[in-house]
C-alpha cells in the first residue's frame, strides 16, 4: 500500500494506468517504476536498461482498502529476503502519484493553462504541492546541487565533502536524484545531519520520464518528484532553490547552467538575490576556468556577475551558501514573499516550452551573439539539451541512428567555443558511463 502518497484510484485512472494505447499511461509508469527499482545500476544507456528488463511489467490491483502494485520480473536489487526495500517502495508510489497527477488530474484541472508562461509556472507549483514538496513554514534552507553523473572519483568525493559542510549548517539538499554529483552532496549531507541530530533532513530528487532510466534515483533520495518534461523540471529547480551549487559535469550540466544564467540575465531578475556557486576540487580548476571562459565569450561579462567560482574549498562553499540563504530570507521577508517557492523570479516562455531535439530543430536554432543575452542563452541551452537527448534518450538515440549526428550551425566564433567545450567533455569522459569509446551524436559546423 502507498504510504501517504496515493491511497485510492478511480476506475478510470486504473484503466489509463493499465492501457498501453493512445492516452494510456502504462509505458510511462513502467519505465519510471523500473528506474526506481533499478537504483544503483552503473549504466546511463536507457535502451540497455529497458532491454535487460524487457520482461518487467507492472499492474494496478484495485481493492476496497486501497491500491496495490503487482510487479512481474522486477530487478532483484530492490528486495532483501523477498521484501522490497522500504525506501524503494516509497519512491515507487511517488512514481504512481506523479504519473496519475501529471497525466490526468493536472491536465483536466481548472485553472491550468499550459499555453501561457504563468500557467506553466502554476502547473509546476501544483505538481510540487501535490507531491508534498511545497511546505509552508519552512526556512530558506534548500540548496540545489547540479553536476554530472559521469565524473571522477575525486570530483565525487569533493561533492560529498561540500554536502557534508552544507549538512553541518543544517541545510537541505535537492539534486537531479541520480549518481555522481547528484548523489555525493546528498550522502555528505545525510552524514552531517546525523551528527547534528537533524531528524527530518530533506534529500529531494527532481526528474522527468525521458531521463529517469538513465539517472535512477540514488539510495539517499527520500523525496522524489517526476515532472512532465525537462523544462518543467528545470523550472522546479529554480523555483524551490534558495541557492544553487554547480559541480563539474557534461552536456546536461552545461544545459542547466545556461538555463539559469539565461533566466538571471533577464532585466526583471537583475536585482533578485539568487546565490550561485560553481565549484570543484583543485583537479577540476581547468574545467571551471573553461566554463567561466565559455560564459564570458558566449554571454558576456554581465552573465559572470551572477555566480562565484570557488575551487577546492568545501567549507568556503558551504559558508558562502549559508550566508547567501540568510540574505534570501531577509529579501523575501521584506517583500512578503514565500520561502517555499520563488514566485518573483521571471521565467520567459522560451525557457518553458518543451524542446524536442530533431535534426530540423537543432539545425534551425539561432546561435548568434547579436541576440539578447537571455534569448541566446535559451538557444544555447537547447543545443546541449539536444546533445543530452542524442546521448541517453531513446527517441534521440533512434534519430541519430536513422539520420546521423545532429548538425549545429551558427556564428563561426561561437561555434568554435561550443566545439572547444564539447571536445573537452569528450576528452574528460563526461559524456557517457557506458565504458565504450564515445561516438558524438552531434557535428558542430565551424
The CATH number covering residue 265 comes to 3.40.50.450
Question: Does residue 129 lie in a domain region?
Answer: no
CB contact at 8 A, 22 and 14: no
* Domain count within the chain: 3
* Dihedral sign, Cα of residue 109, residue 113, residue 118, residue 124: positive
Question: Does residue 251 lie in a domain region?
Answer: yes
Is there a single domain that holds both residue 252 and residue 399? no
Is there a single domain that holds both residue 98 and residue 149? no
CATH of the domain at 21: 3.30.1850.10
Q: Which H or E run contains 278?
A: strand 276-280
Question: Does residue 83 lie in a domain region?
Answer: yes
Is there a single domain that holds both residue 365 and residue 415? yes
Is there a single domain that holds both residue 428 and residue 321? no
Question: Does residue 131 lie in a domain region?
Answer: no
H-helix segments, 213-284: 230-240, 251-264
Question: 368-387, pLDDT tens digit by residue?
Answer: 999 988 899 999 999 999 99
Would you state the pLDDT for residue 434? Answer: 62
Question: Does residue 31 lie in a domain region?
Answer: yes
Question: Does residue 124 lie in a domain region?
Answer: no
Is there a single domain that holds both residue 156 and residue 293? yes
Is there a single domain that holds both residue 179 and residue 303? yes
Residue range of the domain that includes 152? 136-334
Is there a single domain that holds both residue 300 and residue 390? no
Q: Of 299, 334, 369, which marks where a domain is finished?
A: 334
User: CB burial class (10 A; 0-12, 13-18, 19+) of residue 137?
Assistant: exposed
pTM, two decimal places? 0.92
CA distance 182 to 162: 12
Q: To which residue does cell 549559508 refer?
A: 322
Question: 289-333, pLDDT tens digit by residue?
Answer: 999 999 999 999 999 999 999 999 999 999 999 999 999 999 999
CA distance 401 to 3: 43
Question: Does residue 343 lie in a domain region?
Answer: no
* Dihedral sign, Cα of residue 101, residue 102, residue 103, residue 104: positive
Is there a single domain that holds both residue 272 and residue 409? no
Is there a single domain that holds both residue 330 and residue 361? no
Is there a single domain that holds both residue 330 and residue 355? no
Is there a single domain that holds both residue 292 and residue 317? yes
Distance of CA 320 to CAs 227, 273, 282, Å?
30, 13, 18
CA distance 21 to 23: 6
Q: Of 334, 366, 384, which marks where a domain is finished?
A: 334
Would you state the pLDDT for residue 1? Answer: 39
Is there a single domain that holds both residue 283 and residue 158? yes
37 closest CA partner among 85, 78, 91: 78
Q: Of 280, 301, 334, which marks where a domain is finished?
A: 334
Question: Does residue 340 lie in a domain region?
Answer: no
Instruction: For the chain, list residues with pLDDT below 70.
Output: 1-7, 23, 40-45, 63-66, 107-111, 433-435
Would you state the pLDDT for residue 24? Answer: 77
Amino acid at each position: 500500500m502507498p504510504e501517504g502518497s496515493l491511497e485510492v484510484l478511480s476506475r478510470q485512472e486504473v484503466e489509463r494506468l493499465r492501457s498501453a494505447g493512445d492516452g494510456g499511461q502504462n509505458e510511462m509508469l513502467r519505465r519510471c517504476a523500473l528506474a526506481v527499482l533499478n537504483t544503483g545500476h552503473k549504466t546511463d544507456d536507457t535502451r540497455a536498461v529497458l532491454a535487460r528488463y524487457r520482461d518487467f511489467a507492472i499492474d494496478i490491483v484495485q481493492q476496497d482498502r486501497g491500491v496495490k502494485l503487482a510487479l512481474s520480473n522486477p530487478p532483484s536489487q530492490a528486495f532483501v529476503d523477498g521484501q522490497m526495500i522500504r525506501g524503494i517502495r516509497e519512491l515507487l508510489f511517488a512514481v504512481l502519484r506523479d504519473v496519475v497527477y501529471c497525466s490526468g488530474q493536472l491536465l483536466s484541472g481548472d485553472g491550468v493553462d499550459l499555453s501561457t508562461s504563468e500557467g506553466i509556472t502554476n502547473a509546476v507549483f501544483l505538481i510540487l504541492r501535490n507531491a508534498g514538496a511545497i511546505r509552508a513554514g519552512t526556512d530558506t534552507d534548500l540548496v540545489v546541487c547540479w553536476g554530472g553523473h559521469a565524473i571522477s572519483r575525486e570530483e565525487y568525493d569533493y561533492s560529498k565533502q561540500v554536502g557534508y559542510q552544507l549538512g553541518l549548517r543544517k541545510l537541505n539538499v535537492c539534486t537531479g536524484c541520480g549518481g555522481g554529483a547528484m548523489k555525493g552532496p546528498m550522502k555528505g549531507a545525510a552524514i552531517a545531519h546525523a551528527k547534528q541530530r537533524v531528524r527530518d533532513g530533506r534529500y529531494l530528487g527532481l526528474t522527468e520520464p525521458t531521463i529517469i532510466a538513465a539517472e535512477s534515483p540514488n539510495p539517499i533520495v527520500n523525496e522524489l518528484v517526476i515532472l512532465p518534461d525537462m523544462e518543467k523540471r528545470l523550472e522546479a529547480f529554480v523555483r524551490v532553490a534558495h541557492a544553487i551549487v554547480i559541480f563539474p559535469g557534461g552536456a546536461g550540466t552545461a544545459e542547466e547552467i545556461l538555463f539559469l544564467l539565461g533566466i538571471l540575465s533577464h532585466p526583471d531578475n537583475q536585482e533578485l538575490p539568487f546565490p550561485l556557486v560553481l565549484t570543484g576540487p583543485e583537479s577540476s580548476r581547468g574545467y571551471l576556468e573553461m566554463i567561466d571562459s565559455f560564459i564570458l565569450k558566449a554571454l558576456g561579462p554581465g552573465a559572470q556577475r551572477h555566480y562565484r567560482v570557488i575551487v577546492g574549498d568545501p567549507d568556503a562553499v558551504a559558508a558562502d551558501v549559508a550566508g547567501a540563504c540568510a540574505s534570501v530570507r531577509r529579501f523575501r521577508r521584506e517583500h512578503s514573499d514565500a520561502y517555499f517557492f520563488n514566485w518573483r523570479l521571471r521565467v520567459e516562455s522560451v525557457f518553458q516550452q518543451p524542446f524536442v531535439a530533431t535534426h530540423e530543430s537543432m539545425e534551425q536554432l539561432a546561435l548568434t551573439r547579436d541576440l539578447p543575452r537571455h534569448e541566446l542563452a535559451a538557444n544555447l541551452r537547447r543545443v546541449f539539451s539536444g546533445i543530452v537527448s542524442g546521448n541517453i534518450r531513446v527517441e534521440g538515440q533512434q534519430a541519430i541512428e536513422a539520420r546521423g549526428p545532429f548538425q549545429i550551425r551558427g556564428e563561426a566564433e561561437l561555434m568554435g567555443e561550443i566545439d572547444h567545450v564539447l571536445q573537452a567533455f569528450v576528452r574528460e569522459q563526461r559524456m557517457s558511463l557506458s565504458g565504450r569509446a564515445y561516438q558524438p551524436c552531434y557535428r558542430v559546423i565551424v
